[in-house]
């Protein structure tokens, strides 16, 4: 298979409406792949980081194509996407050049682009000269890890299932890449359900509590932090060797370096090897829970040592998935919880509102009481867990429920905007929002999720017409555009600044004027 053939397939996928149709295209195309494993890994983005970003890519591409960077930026802005902009700049018949192989394409995607001083720039410049405009488009999109064709790893797995039918074992999705699954089915070999320290397990996900609970359940605290999976090997009570610990975030990315203090905690366990399902949340100097937004300091700061000082954290485990050579995934939660309590120091275990692992509740009074206690202590809410359920890898189901304050809907005005990143680098992607106050408007944070590509294109066009001033990448605009947003809760820090927890767009309110938006009093009443 060549890059041209791959590019044409991606074009068809991009134009197809609905995920089922996209999966059908992949399923049908598999038969024509000369190197299916490589193609499947690219489509599912089984690719290591290559240290390239949009800003750097603009500079590199301008130099490689021997054009001015302003030309690249201008075409990007015109077409709303860097890859599409390059395609339109160099469009030419596909027959002009011999297409590079898919193996070469895969190699190019893996090159370390951290510096122009290494060989990557030279190699890419040479290979880019062999590509047509269409090939460049899809090379750039996968080079930047922003394919924008609506395909995720989930779609690729479903396409494989469609292709192989009843021979496909869905459980393989939890442990193996699409290419590994494909090879096993073609060669009629059996894949093992991998488990053990170092093998990431897709987390079990929670559904919203809507009044019904499992027959046999237990309640624990919902912390306002981030979900992490801790893998310990050769653990010692005196503290584990940093190199023997792996911390995965909920998507499987290794973030151990950001949480070196957690990785080297002492007296966690009596066991050597284990996998813990945990929450890490920010705390104040008195160990009380701090605002969630502080955790961003840990996640994004380049100065890891200073970040640990600026944002102290606490780790609490609520599940154990593996211990000393044995997987506990298929065991019911009451077994896993009993094991967790027997080997993990209680100061590192989530706070449960019942000590009876096998107790059955007869009414909802325990829910109400536990919920109120958690909220009053500054936590996000409670979790309700089915004690009889095994660990459902990568699934969201009723065996794990979350109960937190109801979402708050607000009408706000946009007060500022910033360009987005990645596939949204050519349009505004984040918007400062304000409510009315006696003195004018008060900013209550920002929102950057819930927007469609059409929303962002429209808002970018409209807001550019009402820019009041520009400062440090921020466009401050006149109060004209009204949004309806929703959030989980509203907080206020010691300096009086407001913040929204998980804000997202509901809709653009063309039917409302700035005079109709919510007030500062409304915000304070919801804290």
Q: Please check whether residues 420 and 394 belong to one and the same domain.
A: no
Mark whether 227 and 367 lie in a shared domain. yes
Whether the Cβ atoms of residue 150 and residue 22 lie closer than 8 Å to each other: yes
Residue 154 lies in a domain: no
In a domain, residue 46? The reply is yes
Same-domain check for residues 377 and 488: no
- pLDDT of 369 > 70? The answer is yes
Question: What DSSP string runs through 148-170?
Answer: -SS--HHHHHHHHHHHHGGG--G
Q: Residue 488 above 80 pLDDT?
A: no
pLDDT at 339 over 70: yes
pLDDT at 275 over 70: yes
- Report which listed range, 52-61, 162-171, 398-407, is most confident: 52-61
pLDDT greater than 60 at residue 163: yes
Query: How confident is the model at residue 336, as a pLDDT?
Result: 96
Q: Give the domain-ending residue among 353, 370, 403.
A: 403
In the predicted model, what is the mean pLDDT of residues 2-27?
91
Residues 429, 378: one domain?
no
Range picked from 89-98, 159-168, 231-240 for highest mean pLDDT: 159-168
- Looking at the fold, whether 413 and 396 belong to one and the same domain comes out as no
Same domain, 246 and 370: yes
pLDDT band at 267 (very low <50, low <70, confident <90, very high): confident
Query: How would residue 364 be classed by pLDDT, with cut points 50, 70 and 90?
Result: low
DSSP 204: P
CATH number at residue 48: 1.10.3260.10
Tens digits of per-residue pLDDT, 129-155? 889 999 999 999 999 988 888 887 888
Does 191 fall in a domain? no
Least confident of 137-146, 153-162, 360-369: 360-369
Same domain, yes or no, for 488 and 502?
yes
DSSP summary character for residue 254: B
Task: Select from 270, 277, 279, 392 the least CA-distant residue to 324.
Answer: 270
Query: What is the chain's mean pLDDT, rounded?
Result: 87
Determine contact, residues 435/410, Cβ cutoff 8 Å.
Answer: yes
Binned at pLDDT 50, 70 and 90, residue 472 comes out as: confident
Q: How far apart are CA 173 and CA 487, in angstroms?
A: 33
Q: What angle do CA 66, 67, 72 make, to 5 degrees?
A: 130
pLDDT at 58 over 80: yes
Question: Which pair of structure tokens corresponds to residue 161?
Answer: 């299932």
Percent of the chain with pLDDT over 90: 42
Q: What is the per-residue pLDDT for 40? A: 92
For the stretch 206-223, pLDDT in tens is 998 888 888 888 999 999
Domain boundary among 92, 125, 143: 143
Query: Is the domain of 118 the same as that of 258?
Result: no
- pLDDT band (50, 70, 90) for residue 410: very high
List the domain range (segments joined by +) for residue 516: 408-525
Binning pLDDT at 50, 70 and 90, where does residue 193 land?
Answer: low
Q: Both 49 and 85 in a single domain?
A: yes
* pLDDT confidence band for 363 (50 / 70 / 90): low
Q: Give me 393's structure tokens.
A: 């890898």
Q: Are residues 399 and 269 in the same domain?
A: yes
Phi, psi of 335 (to 5 degrees): -70, -45
Domain boundary among 124, 143, 162: 143
State which H helix or E strand residue 478 sits in: none
DSSP readout, 26-74?
HHHHGGG-SSHHHHHHHHTT--------HHHHHHHHHHHHT--HHHHHH
Confidence at residue 94, expressed as pLDDT on a 0 to 100 scale: 46
Coil, helix or strand at residue 290: coil
Task: Check which CATH number belongs to the domain holding 245 and give it.
Answer: 3.30.470.30
Asked whether residue 233 falls in the same domain as residue 349, the answer is: yes
Note whether residue 197 is domain-resident.
no
pLDDT by residue (tens digit) across 59-111?
999 999 999 999 999 998 888 889 999 999 886 654 556 789 999 999 999 99
Considering only residues 477 and 454, tell me which one the structure prediction assigns the higher pLDDT.
Answer: 477
Q: Looking at residue 240, what is its pLDDT?
A: 55
Mean pLDDT across 355-364: 52
CA–CA distance from 360 to each of 219, 339, 366 (Å)? Answer: 11, 20, 11
As a whole number, mean pLDDT of residues 457-483 equals 93
- Does the residue 84 lie in any domain? yes
Q: Do residues 222 and 270 both lie within one domain?
A: yes
Number of domains in the chain: 3
CA dihedral 319, 320, 321, 323 (to 10 degrees): 180
> For residue 187, what are its two tokens?
């060669």
Judged against a pLDDT cut of 90, whether residue 178 lies above it is answered with no
> Helix axis angle, 3-15 relative to 102-109, nearest 10°?
80
Q: What is the mean pLDDT of residues 231-243?
A: 71
Q: What percent of the chain is modeled with pLDDT above 70?
A: 95
């Amino acid at each position: 298979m060549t890059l041209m053939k791959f590019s044409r397939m991606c074009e068809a996928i991009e134009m197809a409406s609905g995920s089922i149709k996209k999966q059908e295209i992949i399923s049908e195309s598999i038969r024509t792949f000369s190197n299916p494993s490589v193609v499947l890994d690219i489509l599912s983005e089984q690719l290591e980081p290559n240290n390239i970003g949009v800003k750097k890519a603009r500079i590199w591409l301008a130099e490689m194509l021997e054009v001015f960077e302003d030309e690249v930026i201008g075409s990007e802005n015109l077409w709303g996407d860097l890859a599409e902009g390059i395609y339109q700049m160099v469009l030419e018949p596909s027959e002009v050049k011999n297409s590079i192989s898919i193996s070469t394409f895969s190699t190019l995607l893996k090159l370390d682009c951290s510096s122009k001083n290494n060989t990557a720039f030279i190699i890419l410049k040479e290979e880019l000269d062999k590509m047509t405009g269409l090939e460049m488009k899809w090379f750039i999109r996968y080079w930047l890890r922003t394919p924008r064709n609506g395909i995720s790893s989930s779609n690729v797995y479903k396409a494989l299932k469609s292709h192989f039918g009843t021979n496909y074992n869905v459980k393989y999705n939890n442990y193996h890449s699409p290419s590994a699954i494909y090879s096993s089915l073609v060669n009629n070999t059996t894949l093992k359900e991998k488990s053990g320290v170092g093998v990431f397990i897709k987390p079990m996900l929670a559904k919203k509590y809507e009044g019904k609970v499992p027959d046999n359940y237990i309640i624990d605290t919902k912390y306002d932090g981030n979900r992490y999976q801790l893998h310990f090997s050769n653990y010692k009570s005196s503290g584990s060797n940093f190199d023997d610990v792996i911390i995965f975030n909920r998507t499987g990315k290794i973030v151990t370096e950001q949480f070196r203090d957690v990785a080297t905690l002492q007296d966690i366990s009596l066991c050597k090897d284990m996998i813990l399902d945990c929450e890490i949340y920010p705390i104040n100097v008195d160990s009380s829970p701090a605002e969630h937004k502080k955790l961003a300091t840990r996640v994004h700061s380049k100065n890891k040592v200073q970040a640990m000082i600026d944002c102290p954290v606490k780790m609490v485990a609520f599940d154990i998935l593996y211990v000393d050579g044995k997987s506990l995934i298929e065991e019911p939660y009451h077994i896993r919880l009993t094991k967790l309590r027997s080997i993990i120091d209680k100061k590192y275990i989530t706070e449960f509102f019942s000590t009876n692992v096998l107790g059955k509740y007869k009414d909802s009074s325990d829910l109400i009481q536990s919920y109120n206690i958690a909220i009053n202590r500054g936590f996000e809410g409670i979790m309700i867990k089915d004690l009889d359920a095994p660990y459902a890898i990568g699934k969201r189901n009723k065996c794990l429920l979350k109960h937190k304050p109801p979402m708050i809907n607000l009408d706000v005005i946009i007060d500022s905007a910033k360009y987005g990143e990645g596939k949204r680098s050519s349009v505004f992607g984040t918007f400062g929002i304000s409510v009315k106050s006696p003195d004018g408007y008060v900013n209550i944070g920002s929102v950057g999720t819930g927007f469609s590509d059409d929303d962002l294109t429209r808002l970018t066009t409209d807001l550019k017409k009402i820019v009041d001033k520009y400062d440090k990448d921020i466009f401050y605009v006149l109060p004209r555009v009204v949004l309806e947003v929703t959030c989980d809760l509203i907080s206020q820090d010691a300096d009086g600044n407001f913040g929204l927890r998980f804000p997202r767009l509901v809709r653009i309110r063309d039917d409302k004027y700035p005079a109709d938006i919510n007030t500062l009093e409304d915000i304070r009443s919801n804290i």
